[in-house]
A and B are shown apart, each in its own frame.
Chain A
Amino acid sequence: MTPEQVELSELERDALTEIVNIGVSRAASSLRKMIGDQVLLSVPSIEVVSQSRAARLISEREVVDLVAVRQDFSGPFSGRALLIFPETNSLELVRAVTGGELSAEEVLEMEHEALAETGNVILNSCLATMANMLRRSLTMTIPEVLRGNGAMLFEVDERGGNGGLVLFLYIDFAVRMRDIRGYIAMLMDIPSLATLKELLDEFIAGVVGDDA
């Protein structure tokens, strides 16, 4: 499914996971400031899959509808970043970030805005960290909130998709004793992924040196 030139090696995957971890850690500290409470974010695994596989991966795990925050990015590698939650989890997240003192109606009213803001913090941190660690710069669009199932979010169409690939990251949130799970997905075309892979190799060479 995955073309060879963009197949990530174990080490490249580790490096990318680590970079994203830095990003989500930054996002966690930003959120901590917003919420005034301990927020832990971590990325245990990462995968490169096709769009339809990504859609299936999500729908296999999440039976309910999904909510996603979307941001497009461009630079040496371009694509679209998605922060995805099961719909039921999104309200939990909103309650967490709004301090839990709002009524149910208020939470619903706030949901869209709160989600957009949370998504912005997390995705921005991730992308900015990636750009920073890989010594490149990226520009990002403003966040957008989407709802739907896996196939809709990954724009899988009847003709079998456009052959794009998805960098799929599973993230664990721990916010004030609430278990919230979510996913970060980065849709990129093959040239962009190939560029990312090259940049990762540069980064690894810099960090590991003679041990590699």
Chain B
Amino acid sequence: MPELRESLNQDQLRAVLAAAGASGSWDWDIVGERLYVDYRFAELYALPGDDLSAGFETSAFFRAIHPEDRPRIRIAVAGMLAGAALFSKEFRVISPSGAVLWMHGRGQSHLDEDDQPVRFTGLLVDVTERKRTEERLRIAQSAGGVGTFEYSDGFATVSVSSEFCRLLGLHPADRLPVRTINAVLCEGEPLLIPEGSQAAPPDSLGGEFQVCRGEDRERRWIARRGEVLRDADGSGYRLLGVIYDVTYAKLQEAALRDLNDTLEHRVAMEVAERRQAEEALRQAQKMEAVGQLTGGIAHDFNNLLTIIMGSVDMAIRRTESSADPRIRRALDNAMKGAERAAALTHRLLAFSRRQPLDPRAVNVPELLAGMSDLLLRTITEAIAITVDASDEIWTIEADPHQLENALLNLAVNARDAMPEGGALRITARNRSLSDTAAASPTDPGGEIPAGDYVAIDVVDTGTGMDETTLGQVFDPFFTTKEVGKGTGLGLSMVYGFAKQSGGGIQIASRPGAGTCVSLYLPRSIAEAEQSSDQLIASAEMGSPSETILVVEDDDDVRAYTVGALRDLGYGVIEAHDGASALGMLARHEQPIRLLMTDVVMPRMSGSELAFLARERQAGLAVLFTSGYTRDAIMHGGRLDEGVELLPKPFTMKNLASKVRELLDR
């Protein structure tokens, strides 16, 4: 500056300063204690401008400076006067018009040979605009949490803002070494700022980085955005960009993703559950439909069978022993055919769980022992039969006749699975299920609720079944037997019986490894009854004084029943519906001993009739007959308490013993 001042005249200097954007210049004579200023300085500071060459008192330097900035500048100037080399301060000046302007004062000291400061010269530059811009930028950065950086390739340091430092947890500075910045990155993250002069310029500044903040070691996510500015000659580049914290967004994103993931999982579970429920519902609906169909058929069919069997029965009894034996044989064949038809309808009802069950406390070992004769007759000699049931087996609650039926069915299935012979084992054991036994592909019998059961296993060493077959064994009309050999109702009947009895069925089988069917029947708290209710073999006769009122809407069935009862010697009156039966009950002089009524009748059902009849004649014995009861006298698959039922079709023998039993009670 001294050189400059010496080589240029005042005017030239003024021109240079104006071109440099200077708002004024000063020359402080330290030794002479005078301040010399140019006309711009004088104007700005409102100093009298008529004789600038005379100079001013040095205190004039501070006069226009904003009071808040004045002490600071006084200290800085004191430093310059004492020998500091450089002066670079920003401060506010109040102009004559009252406007506050930001000035950047730059100056330096001039030393004599003894290194003593003699002059202090400098320039004032108006930086008000820049200050405002800086302020806006500063507020934008701090309010927006945005830190700026500028990097020129090849340099070891980066120009940064204090917000930049704050975001990375670094001590605020204007410049930071590249390595200091990259050192806050978590392991494995790409570099925030390229390192080394050989590094290729990045394609863009977009990116997110995980950092381990310098100050508190907290892990944060930082987003980097900005522009890659290439030098005009293409030799180098600058990176000008910003960083900001995106940890919250990242966490939200992660939480949302987590939620989404589990949502999918939850939806999948829900859908699977629903599918299962739908499958179960479909199965139930199928069974219901088949059940209704079979129930309807069975009802009519049993009426027909009752007539057929009754008539054949009567014909057999009335055939003289001297008659042509071919007539007798034909009648016997007709009876067998009717019996088989009756058995078929019975099975239809059983698998559709519409058979009336009459559960009692049953001693399983006794029942199995009673069946051994039957089994030996049914099963061929090529098959060894073992029945194993210890005396500790609990008493169960089940319909003993149906249980025998079910076991016989299983035994026949086992026999058919062993055409070459083998071993059949029937064992009973106590089982306590602590949890509901779940349904599974190899356990198609469905769930069995927790509880105490007696499991009766029917095990064969036969051909076994594969999984596909296992899945279908309980379907009605599914059979592996040849056409004509099986109805396909066997296992489904057993299944229906087990479910209806409150138990269940499990089946395990592998091709070539035999089959094990386990029948679970619930334990009974009652003691087993003695099997005193065995059907009495011979037909019991009645007397004409024992009047029976027969109510049946089917004329043929009624005619047969009435005929049979009269043959047995009873006095019989008949009615074709409930209303006329009640009328007879009122009119008849002799007491009626027994009301024998069909269950399913139009207008008034059998149970309604029984209720009304008992109102008129307390203690009247009632015997229901039915081919299919449609739950009228059953609840939960069992006969209501005190209800006696003679299932259709019935033979004369059944009829005789059942009626006698009721009348003798």
Q: Which residues of A contact B (CB under 8 A)?
A: 10-11, 14-15, 18-19, 21-22, 24-26, 28-29, 40-42, 56-57, 60-63, 129, 133, 170, 204, 207-209, 211-212
Contact = CB atoms under 8 A, between A and B. Distances in A.
Max chain B Cβ within 10 angstroms of own Cβ: one of A11, A26, A211: A211
Contact of A11 (B62, B67, B75, B88): B75
B83 A207 contact: no
Given A29-B115, A62-B177, A63-B179, A208 B83 contact: no
Interface stretch (B10-18, B168-176, B277-285, B452-460): B168-176
B75 A14 contact: yes
A42 B179 CA distance: 24
A57 B75 contact: no
B171 A28 contact: no
Interface in B87-106: 88
Nearest to A125: B83
Interface in B160-214: 170-171, 173, 176-177, 179-180, 183, 214
Max chain A Cβ within 10 angstroms of own Cβ: one of B78, B79, B214: B79
A1 B84 CA distance: 32
A19 B79 CA distance: 6
Contacts of A211: 62, 67, 70-71, 74
B86 A21 contact: yes
B171 A25 contact: no
Given A26-B115, A29-B85, A60-B171, A208 B180 contact: no
Contacts of B62: 211
Contacts of A24: 85
Contacts of B115: 26, 29
A14 B173 contact: no
A42 B177 contact: no
B287 interface: no
A14 B71 CA distance: 10
B83 A26 contact: yes
B72 A11 contact: yes
A22 B79 contact: yes
Contacts of B78: 18, 207
Interface residues of B, number: 28
A53 B565 CA distance: 116
B82 interface: yes
Nearest to B174: A44
A63 B79 contact: no
Contacts of A11: 71-72, 75
B111 interface: yes
Given A29-B115, A60-B214, A22 B84 contact: yes
B214 A18 contact: no
Contacts of A15: 75
29 contacts: A11-B72, A14-B72, A14-B75, A18-B78, A18-B79, A18-B84, A19-B79, A21-B85, A21-B86, A25-B84, A26-B115, A28-B85, A29-B85, A41-B85, A42-B85, A60-B170, A60-B171, A60-B214, A61-B171, A61-B177, A61-B180, A63-B177, A207-B74, A207-B75, A208-B70, A208-B71, A211-B62, A211-B67, A211-B71
Max chain A Cβ within 10 angstroms of own Cβ: one of B78, B85, B109, B111: B85
Contact of A21 (B79, B183, B214): B79
Contacts of B88: 42
B76 interface: yes
Contacts of B82: 22, 129, 133
B477 to A, nearest CB: 85
B28 to A, nearest CB: 15
A62 B179 CA distance: 8
A21 B81 CA distance: 12
A56 B169 CA distance: 12
A207 B77 CA distance: 9
Contact of B83 (A25, A40, A60, A61): A25
Given A26-B115, A61-B176, A207-B75, A42 B86 contact: yes
B75 A204 contact: yes
A170 B85 CA distance: 16
Nearest to B182: A63
Nearest to B74: A208
| Nearest 8 Cβ contacts at the A-B interface | A18-B79, A25-B85, A207-B78, A22-B84, A208-B71, A21-B84, A63-B179, A211-B70
Given A22-B82, A57-B171, A211-B67, 18 more contacts: A15-B75, A18-B76, A18-B79, A21-B84, A24-B85, A25-B84, A25-B86, A26-B115, A29-B111, A42-B86, A42-B88, A61-B173, A61-B177, A63-B180, A129-B83, A133-B82, A207-B75, A211-B74
A21 B117 CA distance: 14
A43 B90 CA distance: 16
A176 B183 CA distance: 31
Nearest to A19: B79
Contact of A22 (B71, B83, B171, B180): B83
Contacts of B177: 61-63
A131 B179 CA distance: 38
Interface string B291-323: 000000000000000000000000000000000
